[in-house]
Amino acid sequence: MAARKRRQDFVWLAILSLLVVFLFVLLTPLSWGLGLGLWLAFMGIFWGRYALVSHFAWSAPMRARVEAQIVNFDRLRAVMNALPDPVFLLDQSLLIEMANPAAEKFARAPVENQHLSQFLRAPEIRKAAERSLATGNPQMVEIEISGVPPLIFRAYLTPIGQTPMDASTQAKQSYSDRLILVLADLTQERRVEKMRSDFIANASHELRTPLASMLGFIETLRGHAKDDPEARDKFLSIMQKQAERMQRLVHDLMSLSTIELDENQPPTKSVDLCEVVSDVCDTLRPLFEKNHVQCTVINEQPDQPLNIFGYRDQLFQVIQNLIDNATKYSADAPQLEIYLGRGRPPEWGGAEAYKSGDTSARIAVGAGITLDELVYLRVCDHGPGIKREDLPRLTERFFRAEAEEQAHERGTGLGLAIVKHIINRHRGGFQIASAPQGGAAFTCFFLPFQDLEQGAAISGEGKNPR
């Protein structure tokens, strides 16, 4: 680098000195031959200086210092690249001078020589950076990046700079002209904490009533109903139902907690949605026959596989929960339809139907794909329908609409919440519709499977949601 700089200086010196000689020849009696000779002699002297300067003893300390700085820079770059957390080197205006691969993966784009706000819109970072530059002290803030699901990071900023000597006080006055920003991902840690607290709160709230009921029946059976066979059989039947409901509740709570824990990790494998629907129907066929359920699968594109990004087991759970929900709130001998296809789903329920949730257009635009690429799954029933004011709350935990009282089997209130969280993990959408004359439709939107290099935006690697 130093040699190249010397060559550049020599070239500029030659050009400028040649211009000076040219002016002297024009303005003075100096001949062209003499002027050219003087210029060549002058350049020869300087060429010798430039050629021998690297061998002079006095230049060795400077060359050693430059080489040491290059080595230190390479070490700094190697250390930054080895760190798993995003690391940014910022100037006073938060312009990114250096970033490690983890930072570029976080930003999902090359970041050097770009402003930090282009990739991280967090006012807390700017305020902490201003405090750190002003005081020279490290700052730590916690930020939340909106998204589905939201991401939580701890941002650590520490200033770096110089400590010049103040001439008047002979004291070192430190100031900072650069900042190191390190982002630590706390999303998983916060999810574990929330999962633990939610599980305890939900379990204690929902199990309190059936446990109290069972304790009351046990006390009755040990008392005056001990020798009453009819009362004993009745109470034991009720206790069995309550125990089975608690078992389902614990299973659903554990399932929901597991799904929420991994909700920020989108799937990367291909699954044929048609095959999953077929497997669910084959598994539930004995129950269909027992409860006289008529389930019809309608594939709008029977000649094409519907490959999507997904986890087979979780998609199986989504379809099973939707079928169970539709069966539970339908009349005797329920009739269900499962629609599969691409693009915009056909209209359902007419113009008077009311809907809540995501739309196919919004999901397609958010994923950066065309509407025709989107894959949908719709489960329709012919039950009593859902009140308009209840639609937005159906995916809340433990929310039960009025139709719950008319259901054949009381659920845990977690089925649709599980469906919603699984759809969120798959970066899709979920819509619920109900018609005034009766019936409901539950529609899931999924992203089509593509190669990760071609469909990086779909898998979450090519688009910046921040």
* Residue in the structure block whose two tokens are 């650069």: 178
Compute the average pLDDT of residues 10-18: 79
CATH 3.30.450.20 domain residues, the chain: 84-185
Under a CB-based contact definition with an 8 Å cutoff, are residues 63 and 3 in contact?
A: no
What's residue 452's pLDDT? 38
Compute the average pLDDT of residues 106-133: 85
Q: Which of 25-29, 130-134, 280-284, 352-356 has the lowest mean pLDDT?
A: 25-29
Under a CB-based contact definition with an 8 Å cutoff, are residues 378 and 339 in contact?
A: yes
Query: pLDDT tens across 155-191, in order?
Result: 999 888 654 444 444 444 445 678 889 999 888 788 7
Residue 455 pLDDT exceeds 70 = no
Residue 323 host element (H or E): helix 312-328
Q: Which of the four pLDDT bands, split at 50, 70 and 90, describes residue 236?
A: confident
pTM beyond 0.95: the answer is no
What's residue 432's pLDDT? 92
Query: pLDDT tens across 384-442, in order?
Result: 888 888 888 888 777 766 555 454 555 667 788 889 889 988 889 999 999 877 788 99
Q: Where are the beta strands (DSSP E) in 236-320?
A: 270-272, 294-299, 307-309
For residue 200, give the nearest of 247, 162, 253, 252 by alpha carbon.
253
Most confident of 108-117, 257-266, 270-279: 270-279
CATH 3.30.565.10 domain residues, the chain: 267-459
Strand order across the beta sheet in which 175-185 lies: 96-99, 87-91, 175-185, 151-162, 139-145
CATH of domain 267-459: 3.30.565.10
For residue 388, give the nearest of 404, 402, 378 by alpha carbon.
402
The domain made up of 187-265 is a member of CATH 3.40.50.1980 = no
Q: Which of 45-59, 320-334, 339-353, 381-395 has the lowest mean pLDDT?
A: 45-59
Q: What are 357's strand-pairing partners?
A: 431
Under a CB-based contact definition with an 8 Å cutoff, are residues 166 and 160 in contact?
A: no
CA dist., res. 258 & res. 246, Å (int): 18
What's residue 148's pLDDT? 62
Residue 54 pLDDT exceeds 70 = no
State the burial class of residue 27 (Cβ atoms within 10 Å of its Cβ: 0-12, 13-18, 19+). Answer: exposed
CATH 1.10.287.130 domain residues, the chain: 187-265
Query: pLDDT tens across 69-94, in order?
Result: 788 778 878 888 888 899 998 888 88
The domain made up of 84-185 is a member of CATH 3.10.180.10 = no
Which residue intervals of 53-145 are DSSP H helices? 60-82, 101-107, 123-135
